[in-house]
Structures are given as C-alpha cells and as structure tokens.
Amino acid sequence: MVEINTLRSLINYLSVRHLFHVAIFLLLSFNLQAQDTSTGAPVKRKRIDLIHADDDIIERDKATRKDWHRLLGNVILKHNEILTKCDSAHWYPDKNQVTAYSKIHIEQGDTLDIYGDYLFYDGITANALIENNVELIDKETHLYTNKVTYDVNNRIAKYYDGGKIINGENTLTSKIGIYYVSQTLFHFKDSVKIVNPDYVMTADTMDYNTETETSIFTGPSEMKGDSIYVYCEKGWYDTKNNLTRISKNALVDNKQQIISGDSIYYDENTGYGQAFGNVSIADTNNHIIVKGDYAWYYKTPEQFTATDSAMFIQISERDSLFLHADTIRAITVTDSSLNGYRLMRAYYGCRVFSKDLQAKCDSLSYSFQDSVIRLYTYPVLWSKENQLTSDSMAIFTRNRQAERMELYNSAFVVSQVDTLRFNQIKGRSLIGYFKDNELYKINIEGNGESIYYLIDGDEIVGKNTTRCARIEIRVNKGRISEIYEYQSPEGVIDPPSASPQANLRLPGFNWFDSIRPKKITDIFK
C-alpha cells in the first residue's frame, strides 16, 4: 500500500514539473515573439548584436555580477532591422539594452533615419528614447524636436515638449506630436500651426498626412492667407492642390464672398465651391446675403446659385429687403465697355418683404448696374395700404432704398376703405414716386379710370367715379389724400350706398390681401 502511494506521488511530481517546464517555455516564447500591431505579423525579440567598435571594454556590475560593455569609437549595433551608429555606448547583453552617446544615427529600412545626441534602447520592448537635437527624416518629412520616443515594432514616434516638421512648403509646429510612420500620418495637439508661403493655419488638434500633404481637422481650426480665410471644427485641407472640405461651423472668406454652411467644399485654384445645409453667401461690398440649404458658387467671374429655402437679403440700416424664391441665381455680365456688373435672378414663387414694401410674382431680376428690380408674371406690390398690380413692374432703387416704380400694361391700384368698399384706380401705365422709402405720389397714364370714396372724418359722404386720360394721386402716410384728373375728365359723385351691388368694381379688380407677406416668415408660405 505504501509503495502504491509513493508511486502516485512520483507521478504527480513529474506532472507538476512537466507543467512548470511548459509554462517556462511559453513565457520564453512570448518574450521572443510578439505581434506587430500595425501588420499583425510576428516580431522576433532577438538580442542586440555588436557589429563594430574601435574599443570594447568589458566591465562587471558589482550588484548584478553581470558583464556589460563600454563601447568606444565608431560604434555600430544591430537589432532586427534596426541599425544604430554612435560615438560611444554602454551595452548590457543580459538586459538586451543599450545607452548610446553622441552622434546617434538610427536607421530603419531605406527611408527612416533618426539622429540625436543621446539614446536609450530596450531590445525586449523595442522602444527607443532619443534626446537632444533630435531629427527624424522619413522620405520628404523632417521632424525636429528635443526628445522623441520611438516604438520600433509599430513604427510610431512621439514627442511631448514641442516639435517642428518640414514637409514640402509646409512648416508645422506643435507641443505634442505622434507620427505613424507606416501611415505617413502625424497627429498634433496643443498650439498646432502650419506656415505656408500663402497662408498660416492654426488649430488645437490636427492630423497631417505627409505623403498627400493633407491636413485633417478634428477641432476648432482656422487658416489665414492673403486671399482666403477658412474656419471649421471638422474637415480636411489638401495643401498641395488647395482643396478643402469642411464642416461644423464651417466658413470660407475668399475676400469677395463670405460663405458659411453645415458643409463646404472649395477649390481655391478655380474659385469653385459648394455648400450644403444652412448656407449663407454674404457680399459685404454690396450689402447682400443669399441663404439656402444648397448653393454653388464661382469666385471669378463671380456667380452663384442657391436653392432649397433660398432667400436673398438686401441689408439697409432703415429697412432691409427679404426675398424668397425656389431658385436664386447671380451672374457677372460684361457690357460693351467691358465693365462687369452683377445680375441676379429669382424664379418660381417669389415673395418679397420689407417694412414699407411687399411683393409677390413668379420671377424677378435685379441689376446691380442700375439698381433696378424687375418683376414678371402676375406681379403684386403692396405699399402701406395700397395694392398695385400690372403685367410687369420695375422698382428703381438708390442707396438700397426705393426711388420710384413703374408698372407696365394694365396698371391697377386698390386700397380698402371698409369691408365693402375699395378705392380703385387703373390705367395703361403707372409711375410711383418714393421718399424715405414711402410712396407719396402716383401718376397714371392712358385710359384712366377711378372709383374713389369721399370721407369726412370717419364718415363716407360720397363716391367719385371718373374717366380721363391721366390721373395724379397724392399719398400721405400710406393713404390716398388727393386725386387729380387731367385731359377731358368725366365723372360723377354719388351718395354712398350700403348695398353691396352699388359698390362697383372696375374691370380687372382683384384683392390679394390673403397672400400678402405681413412678416418675414410669410415669404416662405
């Protein structure tokens, strides 16, 4: 029985010892082999080898009783694909570590070189610390800093005390930088700045691809140049081809227009851009803003198109004008004298609102050459209490205020007296005159007809019906105050009547108060 128990104990001892050896083997295997996180391929943890040194002085560490080497003169060490050169070094074979001094030069492959004055390298972790006058060169990229850590296996370099990168025409600086060598990608943080002959770019956080020379914005960023200013909080800028796509509070100022939107694409070389979502194009020289949910534009010759909730705003200190249409377009026209001027067109469902004037038509145009707004296809214009209609209209402005208006073919003026009665004046054509943006005089030419109610205080005392060749109307504070008939006037004055049938309507009469924009938001109805 004792012999059987002894045999079992021996078997158990051998099994435990076998497992212990397996564990030691696996642990050593882990130290010798790991995965490269960038490629997934196994990385061998070889020992650091000495290739050359003018002097190799072997010394023993009193504490560990291990030998280490003092290497002097033209030192060359190799670890996997890394070759390190220096003036002198301390080499610890048992720790698989090296401390190197003066004229450090690390080579990895054919493209990556790192220089410095001090190096600590751990062959087990394959991590290097390089200090003092550090320069990293990878193809066309040069990094200058005072201290950098380099992960050899994953090919990642980091600095935390400020660095400068030169890539093509761009010089980049930041306090913190991480360079992913395999991806040719820098990640910068804190006081990021790119200096280019044409602009200066600043950001708190930015990625930069050294191969494509593209900046990637991940936080508040701006770019300032002689001909452009850009701000965004997300997006990218191709510095080689001058292309940008930005979003999140995106804004582009090309010195002729200020464009903002949820997302903007802009080609600086051609001056062409597109904007999407909450778009605004501001022309500060001409005091206009165009808005919409989509727009495209050209810088030269200047032109743009806005659609989807499109709105045009002419800014004035006293009374800004707001226009909505399905599509708003502006182009630059060159006349016979080769002087260019802007022509704006709006079409399909135009609505206009200002405090003193409102309008509705199918389409309109606005010439910046003569400051004339032309309304087409069933136009209706409202000025205070007066409604004006005709086949087509033109509003002449000066200093962003109405100066006069002209109505062509079938001009008709209507103002409401009460629920039953309307003052009505019609003729072949009409000219209205404004002062301080208020209509004060109307001249009607050709086939003049009018129905005008005489009022004494709050009481209607008569109805004047007239025909003549020409009519002049005086308007005071939006109300008709006087009417003058010229050239063979014919008319009668009748007492007022409460009967609806007695309150006549001239041919062509319409009352469009239900579609009149009474506030800014009504232009979108």
CA separation for the pair 164, 143 (Å, rounded): 6
pLDDT, residue 65, reads 79
DSSP E strand boundaries for 80-159 = 82-92, 97-108, 112-122, 127-138, 141-151, 156-159
Q: Could you tell me the mean pLDDT of each successive run of 10 residues in the chain, 525 residues long?
A: 46 45 40 46 72 93 84 96 96 95 94 96 96 93 96 95 93 95 93 92 93 91 91 93 94 88 93 94 86 91 90 86 94 75 91 93 91 93 92 89 90 90 92 88 90 84 88 86 83 73 82 95 92
pLDDT, residue 285, reads 81
pLDDT, residue 512, reads 96
CB-count exposure of residue 281 (10 Å: 0-12, 13-18, 19+): buried
Which residue in 126, 125, 90, 89 sits closest to 108, CA to CA? 126
Please tell me whether residue 120 adopts helix, strand or coil conformation: strand
pLDDT, residue 125, reads 94
CA separation for the pair 401, 357 (Å, rounded): 10
pLDDT, residue 286, reads 78
CA separation for the pair 126, 151 (Å, rounded): 6
Confidence (pTM): 0.74
- CA within 13 Å, CB half, 213: 17
Question: What is the CATH class of 46-161?
Answer: mainly beta
pLDDT, residue 498, reads 61
Return all residues near 192 (Cβ < 8 A) that are at least 6 apart. 172, 173, 174, 202, 203, 204, 205, 206
pLDDT, residue 502, reads 59
pLDDT, residue 224, reads 94
**Pair of tokens at residue 412:** 């008709």
Domain range list for the chain: 46-161, 165-240, 401-524
Is there a contact between 447 and 428 (Cβ–Cβ < 8 Å)?
Answer: yes
Do you find a cis peptide bond into 489, omega within 30 degrees of 0? Answer: no
